Structure 1
């Protein structure tokens, strides 16, 4: 069969359990071949027969739900896919857009320190309202049996993505967004920590001496991580070279952070002095141990996850 069938299979297999993909792919391809062959035996053109067969099979998302025994219920099966697609599209850009606008307006109005927080809160509230109101509207439409008169599904709507793509654009966007926030926080905390220094300014959270080398180094590692996320998305799936690069980048960030924590060089000493709780007993050592353990666990989880995904996607 042509790439049209391959695209249909890719769109279907994307939403079925990984353990059953090979079995379903073999079964579905054989069924399509048989149905097309039956039509061409009657003299029909192969390309036209293929399009008719795929159109009769219907929306790959619905077919995948049947294979996975997954019910398309929330607002009801009639409007479920329309609800899901609209909500995903709105959530992909609207909360972030509003968050950026609110943060920018806050900064312009003189609240540069709280701009990031206000932007995040605004984006979260927009996402929350979208989920609620879109779901409510579709639920009402379902109960009133209002026809949407949406155009029917056709094979021309099949995506071009490969079935082996493990890394969707949403994951890449979220990862880059998080990295940008961390990069922005490193210089921001130097000026706005909300811990007054008694002279009209703020006490930085991180030791200002780190700006001589370590903070620029960590920012460079984070920027490299953004490039890595873009490369990873373009490849589309985890490979062993990507696993190795991911490990190196994780270590390049985690090892200096852990070393600076254990040698009491990461947190600003002046900040510690302003909180009596840190100076009581072993509280500061306890916090350091927890942060170090958390950092190690995050790195181990990220590396293990990449190894598992690379193993699953091996040719």
Structure 2
């Protein structure tokens, strides 16, 4: 044996338990010799055969891990799917929920809406990082200790329905309807409990109470129709041109009044605007209105164009 094989053995044995080094050294050296002899019998010279054999055996650290039955991955296949499912579930709502709560508390107590938004976003990001770290750490420990999760065995009954041509999934529909219900519920709730106190400690509605004479009920009715549209989309399973048309009409029915109310300074409660020094400045209020209008227009355009694109793809 040459120093090349000795160096390979030394690198491998360095990473295996001391109690097994002699046994592994004998076994591995014998395997290397047999493999070299086999290649020399095929006509290769000793040096070439040795290099080919050691290259085929691969990185000695990886080989040592196989001998020691030591995992070289953080989360192995036995635990990966459970880890992935839990991560997706927690990251889907916990950071956003924490960020919104912190942002509302900061806006209520700190009197700085701009800072409250930044605080909410940074808190949401930190929550996501903490979730990713701790969940991964727990599963890494479970992996290393071979702890059984006692998960039910997979059966064919768990196979999903065949929705090859379905564009609208139940998850998408449930999420959309859930969001619409929250908005519909918040419109009247904010009139009685907006979490923003006035100077005398009373509730301060965010939207102008005068809008209850027509516009807020109208917008709530449009949102209710959007719930019906989501149900119709799910039943159809894909975008159709009638659904695209209904979607465009409902988008315009909601966006046009909102844009008009923003541009005429009629959307927000004047007392709410005056409650915040930053917001009561005309230039800041105008800038916020411009951002809201541009955002509304972009969202509507994207939604209508995306639905039309999907309907067109279904027909071609």
- Regarding TM over 0.5, the answer is yes
CA change 1:136–1:170 in 2 (3 A) is farther
- Report how many aligned residue pairs link the two structures: 217
CA contact (8 A) 2:91 2:128 kept: no
**Equivalent residue for 1:42?**
none
**Equivalent residue for 1:176?**
177
State the structure with more CA Rg.
2
Q: In structure 2, what is the Cα distance between the partners aligned to 1:150 and 1:170?
A: 23
2:287 paired with 1:291:
no
User: Could you tell me how far 1:256 is from its partner in structure 2?
Assistant: 0.6
CA change 1:75–1:286 in 2 (3 A) is same
Q: Tell me, what secondary structure is at the counterpart of 2:315?
A: coil
CA contact (8 A) 1:191 1:201 kept: no
CA change 1:279–1:93 in 2 (3 A) is closer
What does 1:106-255 correspond to in 2, within 5 Å?
A: 135-145=136-146, 155-255=156-256
Q: In structure 1, what is the Cα distance between the partners aligned to 2:195 and 2:239?
A: 41
TM-score normalised to the size of structure 2? 0.57
**Equivalent residue for 1:116?**
none
The higher-RCO structure (CA 8 Å, 6+ apart) is 1
CA change 1:215–1:78 in 2 (3 A) is same
Q: Tell me, what secondary structure is at the counterpart of 1:313?
A: helix
CA change 1:237–1:136 in 2 (3 A) is farther
Unpaired runs of at least 5, structure 2: 1-72, 99-123
TM-score normalised to the size of structure 1? 0.57
CA contact (8 A) 1:74 1:80 kept: no
Unpaired runs of at least 5, structure 1: 1-72, 100-123
CA contact (8 A) 1:183 1:222 kept: yes
CA contact (8 A) 2:190 2:206 kept: yes
CA contact (8 A) 1:92 1:170 kept: no
**Equivalent residue for 1:69?**
none
**Equivalent residue for 2:77?**
77
CA contact (8 A) 2:233 2:243 kept: yes
CA-atom RMSD, angstroms?
3.7
Q: Tell me, what secondary structure is at the counterpart of 1:282?
A: helix
CA change 1:217–1:142 in 2 (3 A) is same
